[in-house]
Amino acid sequence: MDANVKAYYNENINSQHILIQQRGGSNMEIAMAVLKFLGGVIPLVQELLKAFM
């Protein structure tokens, strides 16, 4: 699970970094990348909480 989680985080962080680096990249693209990242983080946090409770 850890390897998958790390790969997921790295993929999202890289995509956000690329979007920010692009000249003329719209704020909407960056916002969508952030929302997509948060959408992946929330279920992960819920699963971790379930595991520790």
DSSP 8-state code for residue 22:
S
Q: Is 9 helix (H, G, I), strand (E, B) or coil?
A: helix
Q: What is the pLDDT of residue 8?
A: 62
Are 19 and 29 spatial neighbours (Cβ–Cβ below 8 Å)? yes
Q: How confident is the model at residue 35 (pLDDT cuts 50, 70, 90)?
A: confident
pLDDT band (50, 70, 90) for residue 29? confident
Domain boundaries, the chain: 2-52
pTM confidence score: 0.40
Residue 43 has pLDDT above 70, yes or no: yes
Q: What value does the mean pLDDT of the chain take?
A: 73
d(CA 32, CA 27): 9
Query: pLDDT value at position 28?
Result: 74
Dist CA 26 CA 19 (whole Å)? 8
